[in-house]
Amino acid sequence: MNELPSFFSVLGIIFVTTIIIFGILLLIATLLIFIMIRRKKIVFPRATLFLLDALYYPLKRLFVYSNMDKSIVDKIEIEIRNGILKNEYLSSKIKDRIVVFPYCLRSIDCKAQVSPELGVNCIKCGKCKIGNLKEICDENSIKVFIAPGGSFVKRVLKRHPCSSVLLIACHAELNEMMRILSTQGIPQYGILLKKTGCIETDVDIELVKEILLGVN
């Protein structure tokens, strides 16, 4: 008869302890984010990334509830991953690289054909920055994909398993794709769009060229 209350007490203690640990970790993650913003420097990169990955959705909710810019969480994760993986990416052979551009970087007048397997088949018409970058990629045997989201990138990597990947996207998309590729141990680098939105977005073309052709 006495066992039932004690079982529920134990359950209650476990529940409360879990909530307290969760709250403390959320607080530590938030503090780390503010320290990094203030110092303009990444601290404890691997441990911080682990914490931010584990608390990704609660952290974003917390930022929304606190009226703060939730994209900060994505931007910091991207910066940390770039710092950790940049050397590995730059050590890869240029011909083994893949670059993935987002759909929204195209001109609204883009006449390229789209296939579910290959994405947009850019004909280098010159109406957007992708055309110029594709020219450079073709000259250097870098594979180009213009496609939406992480699931497409996963399919591409099944066909080209030994590649390293340069990803270009807005903060949420980019972070999602980098998180997916990280679980597969793929060398990667992410570049944020400098103008986001659903159509005719923009990217720093010089930065893309530098990372596309960069070597260690």
CA 131 and chain centroid, separation: 23
Beta bridge partners of 120: 114
* Contact code string over 77-106 relative to ligand SF4, x by CB under 6 A: -----------------------------x
In this structure, what is the dihedral angle of CA atoms 122, 125, 126, 132, given to the nearest 10 degrees?
40
Minimum CB distance to ligand SF4 smaller for 120 or for 212: 120
What per-residue string of b and e applies to 21-31 under the rule 16 or more CB within 10 Å gives b? Answer: eeeeebeebbe
Q: How far is the CB of 108 from ligand SF4 (least distance, A)?
A: 9
Q: Which range touches ligand SF4 (CB under 6 A), out of 52-60, 117-125, 188-196, 202-210?
A: 117-125
- How far is it, in rounded angstroms, from Cα 211 to Cα 112? 25
Interface with ligand SF4, residue 49, by CB under 6 A:
no
Find the binding residues for ligand SF4 in span 172-191 (CB under 6 A).
none
Interface with ligand SF4, residue 131, by CB under 6 A:
yes
**From the CB of residue 214, how many other CB atoms can be counted at a distance below 10 Å?**
14
Burial of 132 (0-12, 13-18, 19+ CB in 10 A): middle
Residue choice 118, 125, 180, 213 for contact with ligand SF4 (CB under 6 A): 125
Interface with ligand SF4, residue 60, by CB under 6 A:
no
Minimum CB distance to ligand SF4 smaller for 97 or for 106: 106
Interface with ligand SF4, residue 135, by CB under 6 A:
no
Residue choice 33, 73, 99, 130 for contact with ligand SF4 (CB under 6 A): 130
Tally the C-alpha atoms within 13 A of residue 63's C-alpha that lie toward its C-beta.
Answer: 19
Residues that bind ligand SF4 (CB under 6 A): 106-107, 110, 112, 120, 122-128, 130-131, 146
